[in-house]
Amino acid sequence: HVITSAIMGVGATKRVNAVRWGVAKNIILGWFITMPAAAIVAAASYGIVSLAFL
């Protein structure tokens, strides 16, 4: 995520048209999907492991 946003930032500093904003929108949408999905997987994994060892 950091590398991708850094590349977009560098492109935007050279000229705003250097960034494909449609692709940037898809990347940002992916960020909003990735974080909750990772939290759900982590919570499910924790639940399974805690049931197995308690």
Question: CA–CA separation, 4 vs 9, rounded Å?
Answer: 9
pLDDT at 43: 98
pLDDT at 45: 97
pLDDT at 38: 96
pLDDT at 47: 96
One digit per residue, the tens of pLDDT, for the chain of length 54 reads: 788 888 888 888 888 888 888 888 888 898 899 999 999 999 999 999 999 987
Query: What's the pTM?
Result: 0.60
The terminus-to-terminus CA distance of the chain in angstroms comes to 36
pLDDT at 18: 80
List the domain boundaries for the chain. Answer: 2-53
